[in-house]
Structure 1
Amino acid sequence: MADRLTQLQDAVDQLADQFIATFYYVERHHELETFGPNDKIPDLKPDQPKEVDSFAPEVFQAGQLELARDLITKEQEIEYLISSLPGLDNSERDQENSIKELEEELKVAEAQRLEAVREMDEVLQRLDQLMKNIRRQ
């Protein structure tokens, strides 16, 4: 599973894609209407492609509603991801204490690593001695 920042970036990218799809839907499937007395809807020639593929008003509104719900759902997902990022609910002092605790854990782990390296060196020296003794015999 990806980390929170990667999930957040993916969700923002998906939201941008949804915005584009929504704009395309509205731009491509609206009803042609005039807004002023001088506006005209041009007549298309038979071989000319349609600029708009109009849907029935009920179908168009249902599509808009579904796209709006999808946008809201994605926005809520982004809000959730943002709220789950570390540090938003922690004060600076809490974060400093957490860092100090992690530093202490790191010191303990480093001490354990050094002890393991020392033990490994001892075992290697004993193995080396055994190998020398076997060669002499």
Structure 2
Amino acid sequence: MADRLTQLQDAVNQLADHFCNSIGVLQQCAPSSPFPGFDKQGGKSPAAPPTEDYAPIFAKLIARTAKDIDTLIDSLPSEESSLELQLASLKKLEIENQEAAKKLEEVVAKGENLLHQIQEALNDIAHCQLQCQALESSSPPADP
């Protein structure tokens, strides 16, 4: 849950950045308004407005970030997720864990049984090889 809270905090910070940047661009690109008797530019013509329209860009960024925030909020646990529900969930997980442990013990027991059978078979093979070698060495060589 802490991860989701961090993501939510990052998304809110990103939304604040988008708002600040959009206001800064609006201030930078907005045409000046003339006030009679108070002319700061000293007779200069105002700068031409930018050719790019930033409003749709910032609108998309803000809308997308707001949607991300809604999604993150929906993924947070609700207040209905009380201690009793959490304890019930933990009990269920503990039961599942115990069942998995029993299955693991059964598999380990089967594996040990197979290992024992393989060791007996190898032992029998070794005895047979030793007996065969003993018979071959005790028998007289054949005369051609």
TM-score (norm 1): 0.63
In the alignment, which residue of structure 1 is the partner of 2:4? 5
Deviation at 1:87, TM superposition (A): 4.9
Contact 1:7 1:81 in 2 (8 A): no
Structure 1 residue 37: Cα displacement: 6.4
Shift in alpha-carbon separation, 1:112–1:36, aligned structure 2, 3 A: farther
Residue in structure 2 matched with residue 115 of structure 1 by the alignment: 106
The answer to whether the 8 Å contact 1:29/1:54 transfers is: yes
Gaps of 5+ in 2: 129-144
The gaps in structure 1 that reach 5 residues or longer are: 45-51
Percent of residue pairs identical: 22
Question: Deviation at 1:22?
Answer: 2.5
Residues of 2 paired with 1:36 and 1:89: CA distance? 62
1:97–1:131 Cα change, 3 Å: same
Kept in 1: contact 2:15–2:62 (CA 8 A): yes
CA distance in 2 between partners of 1:31 and 1:40 (Å): 14
Q: How does 1:1-137 map to 2 (within 5 A)?
A: 5=4, 8=7, 12=11, 15=15, 18-19=18-19, 21-33=21-33, 40-41=40-41, 54-55=49-50, 63-64=54-55, 66-137=57-128
Cα distance change, pair 77–33 in 1 and its aligned pair in 2 (3 A): same
| 1:5 alignment partner AA | R
Alpha carbons of structure 1 residues 120 and 77: separation in structure 2 relative to 1, 3 Å: same
Per-residue CA deviations over 1:15-52 (Å, capped at 9, x if unaligned) read: 466446524532442223468966724799xxxxxxx8
More deviation, 83-92/100-109: 83-92
Give RMSD over aligned pairs: 3.8
Higher gyration radius (CA)? 2
